[in-house]
Amino acid sequence: MLKHIVVWTMKPETSLEQKQEMKARLESLAGKIPELRFIEVGIDSGNGTMSLYSEFDNEDALIAYQVHPDHQAVVGFVKPLVAVRTVCDYVL
């Protein structure tokens, strides 16, 4: 099982509505991309960050998710909102 964690520091001008839309778009990928086993997205109420926790069977499944057209569409929405992106992937 591969765990994929992303933490975004949002740009100061990113609104709560944009963060909520980002969360909804990311979580809507569940069921659309077969390789995505689990996804959870959180909006931090304190400092303008957001996080994603997701699970995949292996690295190949993560790669398939990353290049999937539905994921790429969400990436196009997310990128302009983000100042910094940090990723941690690990296998259990």
pLDDT band for position 46 (cuts 50, 70, 90)? confident
| Number of compact structural domains in the chain | 1
Q: Which residues are registered as beta bridge partners of 56? A: 2
pLDDT beyond 90 at 47: no
pLDDT beyond 80 at 81: yes
* pLDDT reported for residue 45: 82
> Mean pLDDT throughout 52-62?
98
pLDDT band for position 35 (cuts 50, 70, 90)? very high
**Proportion of the chain above pLDDT 70, given as a percent:** 100
Secondary structure class of 13 (helix, strand, coil): coil
Structure tokens at 87: 């990723």
CATH of the domain at 49: 3.30.70.100
pLDDT beyond 90 at 48: no
Quick one: CA dihedral 59, 1, 87, 61, positive or negative?
Answer: positive
Instruction: Give the domain extent around 70.
Output: 2-91
pLDDT band for position 11 (cuts 50, 70, 90)? very high
Secondary structure class of 43 (helix, strand, coil): strand
Residue whose C-alpha is closest to residue 10's, from 82, 90, 85, 88: 82
Q: Which residues are registered as beta bridge partners of 7? A: 51, 86
Sheet holding 2-10, edge to edge: 38-43, 49-56, 2-10, 82-91
Check: CB of residue 54 under 8 Å from CB of residue 39.
yes
